[in-house]
Structure 1
Amino acid sequence: MNPFRVLTPLLACFFLAVPSRAADEKPAPKHVKAGVSCFDCHHEEKPTKAAADDSCIGCHGDGPAMAAFTKSLAVNPHATPKGGHPGPFLCTQCHFQHKPPVVKCLECHPKFKLTPK
């Protein structure tokens, strides 16, 4: 009998049962310093889902406020896109709490000089 026939389903069950995030994940150091807890963003003590954009907006401001904050950049990633352009995008499409941020704009515009924060 092929051991992989038995082992593969067992391993699949094991990895599917493992939570996608470690239970000991902490907010980013900037958020810890500001006294932000998991509950503040996820609205539950032991998060089971991603934070909603409303959580970001509550502290960082809405799209126009963020566009004003980043207006000095060569390409303003928070500015309202002009006709026919996709967007605006959700905060969580670029900014992540537990992994490095990405710049969604770079998917279509690889020559933009944008560094995520």
Structure 2
Amino acid sequence: MTATTSPTRIGVNDVLRLVLELFAFVTLGIWGFVAFEFPLAIVVGIGAPAVAILLWALFRSPKAVFSIDVFGRSLVELLVVAAATLAWLDLGHPVVGLVYAAVAVISGVVAGRRELGR
């Protein structure tokens, strides 16, 4: 007899969180290439999103390399969101940064409450 597992349910907030995550990575790349002069633009434009992706993969992704508690995962997520928000502020687009931050925080709180309720 084979064990049955319940299928993973993907909700609207899960999709929104994926889009927010990808938006943060792209934002950090844009910021690196636009805010710095060549050759530093190449280093930061590739390095900033690479560091964010690495942090996310190690600690925050569903199949994270290191298993940490919900508060540690939230801290990593908050650092990536804050970096993307600050990047938009630095680029002179505060509305984009603040709207992104507000949506990301609300989505994170909803997901965090669901995670803590398990």
TM-score, normalisation: structure 2? 0.25
Structure with bigger RCO (C-alpha 8 Å, 6+ apart): 2
TM-score, normalisation: structure 1? 0.25
Whose helix proportion is higher, 1 or 2?
2
